Chains A and B, each alone.
Chain A
Amino acid sequence: MANKTAESISRDEFFYGHKACAGCGGSLAVRAALKVLGPNVVSVLPAGCMSAVGFNFPQLCFSNNSIISTFAGTASMLTGVEAGLRARGYKDFTAVGFAGDGGTADIGIQALSGAIDRNDNIIYICYDNEAYMNTGIQKSGLTPFGAKTTTTPAGKNIHGNIRPKKNMFEIAAAHDIPYAATASIGNLPDFIKKVQKASQIQGTKYIHVIAPCPTGWGVAPDETVAIAKEVVESGLWYLAEYENGNFKLNYKPKEFSSVEAYLKKQGRFKHLADEDIKLIEASRDKKWEYINKNFEL
């Protein structure tokens, strides 16, 4: 029984034996992308979960060329690696970065913006698990409204994080980047197609993939993929692309699944009151109004 997606990527494993938590969504995103890009991929990963679990000398878990960057320096090190290899006469390679939500939307956003501005020929993949998971689940700029983290406790006065997620996808697109996309590890065929597409495009490519962290989200390790599907079905995340100046929606749920059901499955949202959930639904609806108006289907 042929699996078209499986057939389209390398059988080799490039990220193996790592010490990520069982059921880690981030590691699945990295693994899948590397299998798309193949042995001549050079990956840059900042200090964060994926570097912490994959690069503990002498346990080195990438079979491709891989290097850790400073936390803020994913994009700028990617630039240097790409320029350096090109200067040395190499042509047949892909430079890819894998940074988490904090490494991308907070501390690394300046370097990322610089790289997009220069249109460096790199792929930047943000695996978004919606908090600083490596340091113990602290709020990042991509932590969603209402989420409980270790720095946004859920108490009587404040119900977790009071601010919505930054929109990194549209921030990247606002640079008029050659290619930007959103994805979810709940839909690997879609994510893999986007990485394939990115690898064929000259210039800077940005892919933002939702990659749940069972530890930080408060779900069972076997729920990672299911919850990553549900965030799309509930309309709280969307699969889209930006190319040639246009936004395109890749998938529109016929009917949104229950936001409450999605939230209540997760430890980080257990505390939310009905009013909080109504606010989240309202902001989802507002976002989709915008998407329906401005994105091609």
Chain B
Amino acid sequence: MRPYIREKKNFTFDDVPENTSFEAGYLTTVNSGWRSIRPVINSGKCVGCEQCYLYCPDGVISIDNGKAVIDYDFCKGCGICAKICKIGAIEMEAERK
């Protein structure tokens, strides 16, 4: 479970709630545009130690079949994962625009 992107809509008068309470974890925009560099996992090297998963401030890394996987919709390219990876399984690469 995690907050996820909802169908795009304009919040008209009637869509705006009567009070300041709304469904939790309701996302309408991604953060991918923030990146100038992106982390790339070298699956051959990755041993699934989960250090990158643990220290990612945005929580965009999960472990799938023992390997780190990145949700590029929300990765901001901070590079903490590449730095924390002791075995060098994450490289920061220039974002292709």
Binding site for B on A (CB under 8 A): 1, 3, 5-6, 11-25, 27-28, 31-32, 39, 57-66, 188, 214, 220-226
Contacts and interface: CB of A to CB of B under 8 A. Distances in A.
Contact of A28 (B20, B55, B77): B55
10 contacts: A15-B59, A18-B58, A22-B76, A23-B80, A27-B57, A57-B20, A57-B22, A58-B28, A60-B3, A222-B79
Contacts of B59: 13, 15-16, 31
B25 interface: yes
B94 interface: no
Interface of B: 1-3, 5, 11, 20, 22-31, 34, 47-51, 53-59, 62, 66, 74, 76-80, 82-84, 92
Q: Which 8 A/B pairs are nearest by Cβ-Cβ distance?
A: A222-B79, A63-B25, A23-B78, A13-B2, A3-B50, A22-B78, A22-B76, A221-B78
A213 to B, nearest CB: 11
B57 to A, nearest CB: 4
B57 A20 contact: yes
B6 to A, nearest CB: 8
Contacts of B84: 225
Given A3-B53, A31-B57, A62-B3, 12 more contacts: A3-B50, A6-B54, A11-B62, A13-B3, A23-B80, A28-B57, A31-B58, A59-B27, A60-B24, A188-B55, A221-B78, A224-B78
Contacts of A62: 3, 24-25
Contacts of B51: 3
Contacts of A28: 55-57
B80 to A, nearest CB: 5
B26 to A, nearest CB: 5
A188 B47 CA distance: 20
Contact of B28 (A59, A188, A224, A226): A59
